Amino acid sequence: MANQMTNINQLISVIIPVFNESESIGYLLDEVVNVMHNNKINFEVVVVNDGSEDNTSTVLDELTIRYKELSVISLRKNYGQTAAMAAGFDYSNGEIVITLDGDLQNDPNDIPNLISHINEGYDLICGWRYARKDKLINRRIPSKIANKLIANVTGLRLHDYGCSLKAFKKEILNDIKLYGELHRFLPVLANIEGAKIKEIKVNHRSRKYGSSKYGIDRTFRVLMDLLTVWFMTKFLTRPMYGFGFVGIISILVSFGMTSYLLLVKILGEDIGNRPLLMFALILGIAGVQLFSFGLLSELLIRTYHESQNRPIYRVRKIQSISIE
């Protein structure tokens, strides 16, 4: 089964970002290492210590002595889960990258199944916590609402965007740059890059140690990030289509209102005190500004792609037939 699941020389990177998880990280690493050894998988574990304030650092120092496959990246302060994941991606060496939380709620026994699906030709496998073991009011209901909203806005239909248990091909991660708190939108960002994505059911366990690091303020951050991602999915390489279109519509509506008011003036009526005149002027100015902003955005996007030598397309594979 292991040979079907992974190639002998295929290196798997398991990335675990942690913040104040001193009680759980030892048990989690035991599980991960046992699962990988039992399935004869060539692997490394990269734990990113995101500025933990408890004795997580001390525990990790001891674990690095116990496990030769373990590397620990300690950040100078708490940057957040997105930065911790980005650090893990940068310091990982595997062809396939697995991500999971450090709180023992993700089940490492699902890792072989994720790898198996990646080797079927997918670029990203997303875990779906179909039997989620979290509080109904604080976590599950807000999560369901957020998942529905993200799916409707982005067009990528997944049941569970927030599950950290995922498997990536490293090549797709090389095309994704994480900023802010966009880690929860990794499937959407991968979809923008043309990734082949599949969602599978995974086990989810109750939290045994510590407490959740998320509060109700997370909902508002998700909404702000969703606006960013929506713009990226629609207008990343063509911002003029967004700003320019609205600008032209505003200018045309303003022109129509102004023409009407001019006709009224010719007919002898006073238009100086009409609110419509002020509205037409404001709409016209706004239209010109939006059109100009769209033009500037086009120039910035071109500069961005050209300065990074970043093409606007992604190649999955190249096939050719040699004719002798």
* DSSP string for 109-146: GGHHHHHHHHTTT-SEEEEE-TT--S-IIIIIHHHHHH
Q: What is the mean pLDDT of the chain?
A: 87
What's the mean pLDDT in 102-131?
Answer: 94
- Beta strand 124-128 with 12-18 is unpaired
Structure tokens at 78: 């708490």
| Residue range 178-203, pLDDT digits in tens | 877 788 889 999 998 889 999 999 99
Determine the Cα angle at 237 with ends 98 and 147, to 5°.
45
Query: What pLDDT score does 213 carry?
Result: 58
Distances (CA, A) of 47 to 44, 158, 163, 230: 10, 27, 18, 31
pLDDT at 1: 44
* Residues 38-81: tens digit of each pLDDT: 999 999 999 999 999 999 999 999 999 999 999 999 999 999 88
What lies within 8 Å, CB to CB, of 72 at 6+ separation is 46, 47, 48, 49, 60, 61, 63, 64
Does residue 193 contact residue 314 with C-beta atoms inside 8 Å?
yes
**pLDDT tens for each residue of 11-44:** 999 999 999 999 999 999 999 999 999 999 999 9
What is the pTM for the complete model shown? Answer: 0.79
Instruction: Enumerate residues 6+ apart whose C-beta is below 8 A from 223.
Output: none
Q: Report residue 175 as tokens.
A: 């095309």
Tell me what pLDDT residue 149 has: 86
What letter represents residue 237's amino acid?
Answer: T
Q: Which residue has the tokens 């992974």?
A: 6
pLDDT tens figures, 242-298: 888 899 999 999 999 999 999 988 888 888 788 898 999 999 999 999 999 988 988
Q: How far is CA 169 from CA 99, 138, 166, 192, in A?
A: 12, 33, 10, 15
Q: What are phi and psi of 281, to 5 degrees?
A: -65, -45
